Amino acid sequence: MTAGERSPVIDGHAHSAGEFCFGEEIVRRLDELGVEKVVLCPGPVNEPIKWPVPNLASVFKSRGPGLAGSRALRLTAGYVAKRFDFADSNAYVAGLARRFPSRVIQACWVDPADAETMRDLGARHKEWKFRALKVHQCFQRVPSDSVPMRELARFAGRRGLAIFIHLYSRREAAGLMTLAAEHPETSFVVAHLLGFEVFAAAGRETPGNISFDISPPSMTPRQLVMRAVAAFGAGRLLMGSDTPYGKDNLKEALALVRGLDIPEADKRLILGGNARRVYHL
């Protein structure tokens, strides 16, 4: 980005639920906070219900709750599966992106192990033009270094798509490093800095096509973000809100990044420059 270009602010992770359920409300909130775009995936249930999340960042001040939250989420998988239809929920987000193409960037939630999903994915991408693929290992029990994930990585790489992944365990974090190293043409974004200790132990050996989402502010303490900056550099972190899972998430996420003790240029990268690069916006 040259000095004359406007520095974008992009919410790199939100869901079409709660206050972000309806397009007009999404745009109003983005405008209110000076945010250019949002990378949006299904709720998974697209309802205007708000989901309060306690401020766990104030408890886990240096590391956040981490993968313990993933284990808790998997306990809800059966309940969510009864209410969540991939096709309908992805079509809903596609409709929002079609109505507000300059503001809403679709992330399509997929199950790589589902043969029907993979068979139709090319047609869905041609129709919806999504910029990312969302994989959630709490609900889709597909190992990071499995054959289905390799097929998804090849699909994404050929089309310039990023894979946004919510990891379940340290083993899956290690598996993702293997997958990313095998597919350097594909960008991967790790949700919520999950598996941070695994990646941090690898340090600069972590494949360069892996970036990290630092949402939500209620579960990602400032100290953890600073540790991530030290481990990977600001050029690999993406600001996200994880709206609606929390209160005033986007406002708090912006305040978190702007309050970091790092150069302004690094803040601009985290606030949107990195998302623009990773998602080819």
Q: Does 25 fall in a domain?
A: yes
The tens digit of pLDDT for each residue in 113-136 reads 999 989 999 999 999 999 999 999
Examine residue 241 and state whether it is found in any structural domain, yes or no: yes
3-state secondary structure (DSSP) of residue 225: helix
Angle at 36 between CA 277 and CA 27, to 5 degrees: 135
Chain-centroid distance of CA 137 in Å reads 13
d(CA 192, CA 253): 12
- At residue 5, the pLDDT reads 45
DSSP line for 96-133: HHHHSTTTEEEEEE--TT-HHHHHHHHHHHHHH--SEE
φ/ψ of 138, rounded to 5, equals: -75, -25
The reply to whether omega before 52 is within 30° of 0 (cis) is: no
pLDDT digits (tens, 9 = 90+) for 1-41: 433 346 899 999 999 999 999 999 999 999 999 999 999 99
CA dist., res. 173 & res. 168, Å (int): 8
Residue 2 has what pLDDT? 39
Contact 142, 113 (CB under 8 A): yes
What is the CATH classification number for the domain harbouring 162?
Answer: 3.20.20.140
Mean pLDDT of the chain: 92
- CA-CA distance, 22 to 93, in Å (whole number)? 10
Q: What is the mean pLDDT of residues 86-104?
A: 96
For tokens 């892996």, what's the residue?
A: 210
Range(s) of the domain holding residue 31: 10-278
Residue 48 pairs in a beta bridge with: none
What is the model's pLDDT at position 185? 97
Q: Say how far apart CA 155 and CA 157 lie, in whole Å.
A: 6
Number of compact structural domains in the chain: 1
Query: Is the pLDDT assigned to residue 64 strictly greater than 80?
Result: no
Residue 70 is predicted with a pLDDT of 81
> Is 229 inside a domain boundary?
yes
Average pLDDT over residues 257-274: 98
Residue 71: per-residue pLDDT: 80
Average pLDDT over every residue of 162-166: 98
pLDDT band at 86 (very low <50, low <70, confident <90, very high): confident
**Residue 186 maps to a domain:** yes
Whether residue 32 contacts residue 209, with contact meaning beta carbons closer than 8 Å, is answered with no
Q: What is the mean pLDDT of residues 197-204?
A: 90
> What's residue 75's pLDDT?
78
Q: For the chain, what percent of residues have pLDDT higher than 90?
A: 78
User: Which residues, 6 or more positions from 93, have their beta carbon under 8 angstroms from its beta carbon?
Assistant: 16, 40, 41, 42, 46, 104, 106, 107, 108
Please list, residue by residue across 233-270, b when 16 or more beta carbons sit within 10 angstroms of its beta carbon and e when fewer do.
Answer: ebebbbbbbbbbbbbbbbebbbebbeebebeeebbbbb
pTM for this entry: 0.93
Residue 159 parent element (H or E): helix 147-159
Question: For residue 2, is it within any domain?
Answer: no
CA-based nearest residue to 64, from 258, 202, 242, 250? 242
Q: What is the pLDDT of residue 57?
A: 67
Is 61 a residue whose pLDDT tops 70? Answer: no
Note whether residue 228 is domain-resident: yes
Lowest mean pLDDT: which of 73-87, 150-164, 262-276?
Answer: 73-87
Enclosing H/E stretch for 87? helix 86-99
Cβ contact 91:114 at 8 Å: no
> Does residue 1 form part of some domain?
no
Give the tokens for residue 112.
């790589």
Let me know if residue 269 belongs to a domain.
yes
